[in-house]
Chains A and B, each alone.
Chain A
Amino acid sequence: MAALDNVTVKEGVDQETVDAVREVGGAYKHGWNTDIEMDYAPKGLNTDIVRLISEKNGEPEWMLDWRLAAYERWLQKEEPKWAMVDYPEIDFQDQYYYARPKSMEVKPKSLDEVDPKLLATYEKLGIPLKEQMILAGVEGAEDAPAEGRKVAVDAVFDSVSVGTTFQKELREAGVIFCSISEAIQEHPELVKKYLGSVVPVSDNYYATLNSAVFSDGSFVYVPPGVRCPMELSTYFRINAENTGQFERTLIIADKGSYVSYLEGCTAPQRDISQLHAAVVEIIVEEDAEVKYSTVQNWYPGDENGKGGIYNFVTKRADCRGDRAKVMWTQVETGSAVTWKYPSCILRGDDSQGEFYSIAIANNYQQADTGTKMVHLGKNTKSRIVSKGISAGHAQNTYRGLVSMHPKAKNSRNYTQCDSLLIGSLCGAHTVPYIEVKNNSSRVEHEATTSKVDDDQLFYCRQRGMDEEEAVALVVNGFCRDVLQALPMEFAMEAQQLVAISLEGSVG
């Protein structure tokens, strides 16, 4: 990080801080590249590639037809340009739409056969020891006492799900947690019924693309009345040069069930921007509850805005039954470009949707993120808490919709979106859409934009903190409402991420 070599160190900043900043600014912490042989499909997108992906996954005819129909629709669609993000034109024919680790060509019968390098990757990712043991196929690992809360991991390495843990316990509870490709084979009736029912094939440009070319993802089905005995977790990774990653996640919470799903991501450093277009569909039936938490820490590009992931994600939950509840929590710190609006369709009476978000953009990152709360049922409630932090040259936009339909009597919405600006070259924007079509509903929207409060900083400095620590503390306080909504496992990691993401942005 040459830029930092010549700076004059301010009085009171110790060498340790300078080193830390240099380290963070110079290299992305998770920016390694595991050298695993990849099996690529040729670059570009056409019906042959769609057929190839379907064939490689051993999919039945109906799935192939579904993909081909999506591909036809995609050809007719135009790339959306309304978001406040600016990136070079993506050449969709210059992307790989299928890549899988070569050692996976024949799926391992047991985890013993998993490529050791892959396991080393998990270690770098910080997957908990127990899951590593299980992923590595250690005998008896499943019976080993788990420390603290349990988390089942469905790890996605590039495009293929390579291992699923805690299967036994989940199976006993009746929960189906597997890769979507497996679900297509094993539970076609469920997939047929629900796939594309929340995010229709032609929903938007990127969702349509995903429908045509998704290579894998996770599938969760929680049967009626079952409280999923553990947190479900997926680690998404992007690990092949110029490979688009097209994940498809389908979560079904049947009547009266409960599940909490965690998703976390890191990615290796890259020179060429990578395309990512995931789709997450959640179906929440009567009295069911789903929590979906994300910590997104993909490679954001270097401090000059070179490289980084393009993240175009469609996430939507459909509260179909009465009293259904869904909660999205996201900590977005990575990606060069983020385009993501996790939404809730509140169809059932008394259903609830919540959205908690922290979006941090530093250097040349651009984030355009928010949510949609569509109130259709009576007495539905939604709550939006969004915290956007911009530093460096970054642009951070909250874009959201709250819609109260005429039949959504007595519904409530509360929205709070706060933006914090660190430095005079960044931008923070708020674009909410509010549509109220009945009078018994109450909608409240508040937004503020400000800089880090000088008084608070002064107070912290006076107590002996250096400026960076003080800013991290103030920012963590600013984000507290959202951090508290995260499950324990993620809350700590997220708190650290908040501090790390902003290092080097002050002083």
Chain B
Amino acid sequence: MALPQLKQDATDARLAALEMPAGGWPEAARKDALERVKSMGLPSGRDEYWKYTRPDTLVQPDAPKAALLETDEPLVFDKVDRLKIVFVDGVFDPEASDDLAMEHVSIDRLADAPDIHWAKDLYGVLETRGQTPVQRPLATLNTAFATDGVLIHVTGKAPKPISLIYRHDSEASDAILHHVIKVDGGAELTLLENGPAAARFNKCMEVEIANGGIFHHVRAQGRDHERRAATAIFTRLGEESVFKSFTLTANGVLTRNECVIELTGDNAVAHVAGACVGDGDFHHDDTVFITHDALNCESRQVFKKVLRNGATGVFQGKILVKEGAQKTDGYQISQSLLLDEDSQFLAKPELEIYADDVACSHGSTSGAIDEEGLFYLRSRGIEEGPATDLLTIAFLAEAVMEIEDEALQEEINGRVESWLTRRRG
């Protein structure tokens, strides 16, 4: 079917501005992805899936400029013992990165593409699976044009977290990174991500978790106010495997985080959580799609947004329980705290259920700070500013507590506190 003219033009313009990296094992997958992008077209504001977030600046040929933030605040996770992999404006920085060798883990770069690699069986595969029933063309564009990324194969329990650090050095950088992570049966990995990455960042991550594998993901998106990002995680879970992902977003004029989870093995567990604190032009969109396709799986979504000065928070979450996925336990909560009159929260929490022996629920609330709570704290001698901060932290706590590692929880809480203090001036 022909695309609408405007969509066709926008897609053509974007594709014309990109160059596909040549050669190596990913070539076939890249070419296939290019064909798929051409037939889908890139997102437009008329698409139902982009009802609440305008995709124009993510689609336009050149990245809109984003000023670099000047701050002396140390980077998040600095205190954590980890293996660092640094990208500057989407380009691997070997100087700043640690040695890529670690016990039970093999790490390669997408850009060093030999002819044969284990990632060939996964690259673009989970992304393709994630295209139905809803199309995610920005991720497909990523598969076709990603310039680099890491390929991580975990064969046992990784001794320390792997940390991807995305630095932003140029005002007009446009980065496309694609990571593939394969967690073997019984293996375990914690992946940390932080940094603004680029003026515009398109990131796609495919995570295959075999039976009994465990994958933890903690991410902090912050710093530069004017940055834009479209990220997507595609994951497939085997029997009794665990996927837990948490994201803190503290800045950015536009962020769209998609998470596509497929529970294909019995007794698998997937938790995805997000906390965001937004100010001014901040527009943040969490889009989650969880498919239950096995028995007795558990999924949990916890999203909390604190918004002020005209910030916009969007949540689109869906639980799909396929026929036969009995004993499913699906839970989803999305809440927003609007600190002033101008901010807005737009939510579309969906359930689509084709099995009868399930317990699925979702809740969504939006409102101002609890007057009674505030009064209680004020009556105990706490001034309005700090009292509001306390209540805000308490509000976000439910999402932050989804992080299992207490040290990482602390790190994230510290970030929230500093955001609140900084904003209060």
A residues near B (Cβ < 8 Å) are 82, 84, 404, 406, 419, 421-451
Hey, what's the 0/1 contact readout for B330-362 against A, CB within 8 Å counting as 1? 000000101111111111111111111111111
Which of the segments B64-72, B93-101, B153-161, B363-371 contacts the partner chain?
A: B363-371
Which single residue of chain B is at the shortest CB-CB distance from A418? B361
A431-B348, A444-B364 given; name 14 further pairs at CB < 8 Å: A406-B342, A421-B353, A421-B355, A424-B324, A426-B354, A429-B351, A431-B350, A432-B364, A434-B364, A435-B346, A436-B345, A438-B344, A441-B366, A444-B363
Partner of B343, one of A423, A426, A430, A439: A439
CB <8 Å contact, A445 and B349: yes
B residues near A (Cβ < 8 Å) are 48, 323-324, 326, 336, 338-368
CB <8 Å contact, B356 and A430: no
Q: Which residues from chain A contact B351 at a C-beta distance below 8 Å?
A: 419, 428-430, 447, 449
CB <8 Å contact, B354 and A445: no
Complex Cα spacing A444 to B336, Å: 11
Complex Cα spacing A276 to B342, Å: 43
Instruction: Report the minimal beta-carbon distance from A354 to chain B, rounded to whole angstroms.
Output: 19
Which single residue of chain A is at the shortest CB-CB distance from B308? A439
Q: Which residues from chain A contact B344 at a C-beta distance below 8 Å?
A: 435-438
Which single residue of chain A is at the shortest CB-CB distance from B321? A449
CB <8 Å contact, A436 and B324: no
Partner of A82, one of B48, B345, B361, B367: B48
Complex Cα spacing A447 to B362, Å: 5
Complex Cα spacing A447 to B349, Å: 9
Q: Which residues from chain A contact B357 at a C-beta distance below 8 Å?
A: 424, 451
Instruction: Supply 6 A–B pairs (Cβ within 8 Å), ascending by A.
Output: A419-B353, A436-B336, A438-B341, A439-B340, A442-B367, A443-B366
Given A430-B351, A432-B348, A439-B338: A425 and B323 interface contact (C-beta under 8 Å):
yes
| Interface SS of A by simple majority | strand
Q: Which residues from chain B contact A431 at a C-beta distance below 8 Å?
A: 348, 350
Complex Cα spacing A357 to B316, Å: 24
Complex Cα spacing A447 to B361, Å: 5
Instruction: Report the minimal beta-carbon distance from A74 to chain B, rounded to whole angstroms.
Output: 22
CB <8 Å contact, A424 and B361: no
Complex Cα spacing A431 to B362, Å: 11
10 closest Cβ contacts across the A-B interface?
A439-B338, A421-B356, A442-B367, A436-B366, A434-B347, A430-B351, A445-B364, A448-B361, A449-B360, A437-B344
Partner of B352, one of A421, A427, A432: A427
CB <8 Å contact, B345 and A434: yes
CB <8 Å contact, B366 and A442: yes
CB <8 Å contact, B364 and A443: yes
Which single residue of chain B is at the shortest CB-CB distance from A409? B341
CB <8 Å contact, B350 and A430: yes
Complex Cα spacing A427 to B346, Å: 26
CB <8 Å contact, A427 and B364: no
Partner of A426, one of B345, B356, B365: B356
CB <8 Å contact, B346 and A439: no
Given A442-B366, A446-B363, A447-B362: A433 and B348 interface contact (C-beta under 8 Å):
yes
CB <8 Å contact, B348 and A429: no
Instruction: Report the minimal beta-carbon distance from B123 to chain A, rounded to whole angstroms.
Output: 33
Given A433-B348, A435-B346: A450 and B358 interface contact (C-beta under 8 Å):
yes
Instruction: Report the minimal beta-carbon distance from A129 to chain B, rounded to whole angstroms.
Output: 43
CB <8 Å contact, B365 and A444: yes
Instruction: Report the minimal beta-carbon distance from B328 to chain A, rounded to whole angstroms.
Output: 9
Q: Which residues from chain A contact B348 at a C-beta distance below 8 Å?
A: 431-434
CB <8 Å contact, A424 and B364: no
Given A436-B338, A443-B367: A422 and B346 interface contact (C-beta under 8 Å):
no
CB <8 Å contact, B341 and A406: yes
Complex Cα spacing A425 to B350, Å: 20
Q: Which residues from chain B contact A426 at a C-beta distance below 8 Å?
A: 354, 356
Partner of B356, one of A423, A433, A439: A423
Q: Which residues from chain A contact B360 at a C-beta distance below 8 Å?
A: 448-450
CB <8 Å contact, A450 and B338: no
Q: Which residues from chain A contact B349 at a C-beta distance below 8 Å?
A: 430, 432, 434, 445, 447
Complex Cα spacing A362 to B346, Å: 33
CB <8 Å contact, A424 and B48: no
Partner of B359, one of A424, A429, A450: A450
Q: Which residues from chain A contact B365 at a C-beta distance below 8 Å?
A: 442-445
Complex Cα spacing A441 to B361, Å: 23
Instruction: Report the minimal beta-carbon distance from B335 to chain A, rounded to whole angstroms.
Output: 10
Given A424-B323, A424-B326, A435-B344: A441 and B354 interface contact (C-beta under 8 Å):
no
Complex Cα spacing A428 to B349, Å: 14
CB <8 Å contact, A449 and B367: no
Instruction: Report the minimal beta-carbon distance from A420 to chain B, rounded to whole angstroms.
Output: 9
CB <8 Å contact, B353 and A429: yes
Complex Cα spacing A442 to B367, Å: 5
Q: Which residues from chain A contact B367 at a C-beta distance below 8 Å?
A: 439, 441-443
Complex Cα spacing A378 to B296, Å: 46
CB <8 Å contact, A451 and B353: no
CB <8 Å contact, A451 and B356: yes
Instruction: Report the minimal beta-carbon distance from A274 to chain B, rounded to whole angstroms.
Output: 28
CB <8 Å contact, B363 and A427: no
Q: Which residues from chain A contact B346 at a C-beta distance below 8 Å?
A: 433-436
CB <8 Å contact, A440 and B361: no
CB <8 Å contact, A427 and B345: no
CB <8 Å contact, A428 and B353: yes
CB <8 Å contact, A427 and B358: no
Q: Which residues from chain A contact B339 at a C-beta distance below 8 Å?
A: 439
Q: Which residues from chain B contact A448 at a C-beta distance below 8 Å?
A: 359-361
Complex Cα spacing A415 to B342, Å: 24
Q: Which residues from chain A contact B368 at a C-beta distance below 8 Å?
A: 439-440, 442
Instruction: Report the minimal beta-carbon distance from B368 to chain A, rounded to whole angstroms.
Output: 4
CB <8 Å contact, A451 and B364: no
CB <8 Å contact, A449 and B366: no
Which single residue of chain B is at the shortest CB-CB distance from A446? B363
Q: Which residues from chain B contact A421 at a C-beta distance below 8 Å?
A: 353, 355-356, 358
Complex Cα spacing A431 to B351, Å: 7
Q: Which residues from chain B contact A428 at a C-beta distance below 8 Å?
A: 351, 353
Complex Cα spacing A171 to B357, Å: 55
Instruction: Report the minimal beta-carbon distance from B336 to chain A, rounded to whole angstroms.
Output: 7
CB <8 Å contact, B324 and A449: no
CB <8 Å contact, A440 and B364: no
Which single residue of chain B is at the shortest CB-CB distance from A451? B356
Interface centre among A423, A437, A440, by most B CB within 10 Å?
A: A437
Given A424-B323, A427-B354, A439-B340: A434 and B366 interface contact (C-beta under 8 Å):
yes
CB <8 Å contact, A439 and B341: yes
Q: Which residues from chain A contact B355 at a C-beta distance below 8 Å?
A: 421, 424
Complex Cα spacing A446 to B359, Å: 13
Given A434-B346, A450-B358: A427 and B340 interface contact (C-beta under 8 Å):
no
Given A435-B344, A438-B341: A430 and B362 interface contact (C-beta under 8 Å):
yes
Q: Which residues from chain B contact A434 at a C-beta distance below 8 Å?
A: 345-349, 364, 366
Instruction: Report the minimal beta-carbon distance from A489 to chain B, rounded to whole angstroms.
Output: 34
Instruction: Report the minimal beta-carbon distance from B181 to chain A, rounded to whole angstroms.
Output: 32
Q: Which residues from chain B contact A440 at a C-beta distance below 8 Å?
A: 341, 368
Complex Cα spacing A465 to B192, Å: 57
Complex Cα spacing A278 to B354, Å: 30
Q: Which residues from chain A contact B338 at a C-beta distance below 8 Å?
A: 436, 438-439
Complex Cα spacing A429 to B361, Å: 11
Complex Cα spacing A445 to B362, Å: 8
Q: Which residues from chain A contact B340 at a C-beta distance below 8 Å?
A: 439
